[in-house]
Amino acid sequence: MNSDRPIGVFDSGIGGLTVVRSLTRRLPHENIVYYGDTARVPYGPKSPQVVREYAAEDTEVLLAHNVKMIVVACNTVSAVALDVVQKRARVPVVGVIIPGAEAAVQTSRKKRIGVVGTIGTVRSRAYENAIRQVDSSVQVFSKACPLFVPLVEEGWINHKATELIAHEYLFPLTLEKIDTLVLGCTHYPLLQNVIGSVLKGAATLVDSGEATAGAVERELDAHGLRNPSTLKPNLKFFVSDIPHSFSEVGERFLGQKLGVVKKV
């Protein structure tokens, strides 16, 4: 179990780079191998059966890189297929749902929590179940926001159209008087400004990726897997397709230059 082995992170596409960004900030010396299934993205609208098949294959891609831990950055996979990854992995697995749910319960005072995510994530009720597992007296209000993913990929981060759509999606949640909103999708942290302004400060936003970075740190320590090196880490990026404007969009998610991206 040498702890300088990389942490493996996978997602349905490039959105999971927001989770890598949170990881590199919290754990600046960890080596990371990222795999984005860009050829088959989006997973959000697909059936749980298909997402489970893809999740098994994504796990194998990372295991081939001798990773010491697997982080399932994709909310949709974490919601419907975490057990598939756990069964195959032979290394610790961290998904984004439980850390996001725990952070939301800690944040909420009124015990009225909103959750936004893909259709697959919301249909699975995974956040709702995880939140109630922590505190059964919390009320959860969920809303699928499928248009957010293409809007973010288009770069329409502070766009009028995005504001209108966000208002349409989030208005029902404001009526429920939520005080906390879980951003239950890899892409949504990039819409924090728009979402925050639609909610007019009435709810605190919880970034599930950010919460997951904390969970990864705890898990590394629990297994004695933290990389003792203080050198600049190795970040490697693999994808199943290199679509147009990949680097531009990827760098927006990662918050820094991507470097070499290899197709597998």
Q: Annotated catalytic sites, by residue?
A: 74, 185
Contact 261, 242 (CB under 8 A): yes
Verify cis geometry, omega within 30 degrees of 0, for the bond prior to 243: no
- Closest-approach residue to ligand DGL (CB): 44
Contact 33, 234 (CB under 8 A): no
Contacts of 178 (CB under 8 A, 6+ apart): 110, 112, 113, 114, 141, 202, 203
Nearest to 130 by CA among 142, 144, 118: 142
The size of the chain, in residues, is 264
Q: Which stretch binds ligand DGL (CB under 6 A): 72-80, 104-112, 134-142, 192-200?
A: 72-80
Residue of the chain from 5, 6, 8, 11 that contacts ligand DGL (CB under 6 A): 11
Q: Which pair of tokens denotes residue 76?
A: 């949709």
Contacts of 221 (CB under 8 A, 6+ apart): none
Residue of the chain from 121, 162, 180, 212 that contacts ligand DGL (CB under 6 A): 121
Question: Binding marks (x or -) toward ligand DGL, 32..71, rule CB under 6 A?
Answer: ---------xxxx---------------------------
Question: Binding marks (x or -) toward ligand DGL, 164..203, rule CB under 6 A?
Answer: ---------------------xxx----------------
Residue of the chain from 149, 152, 195, 239 that contacts ligand DGL (CB under 6 A): 149
Residues that bind ligand DGL (CB under 6 A): 11-13, 15, 41-44, 74-76, 118, 121, 149, 185-187
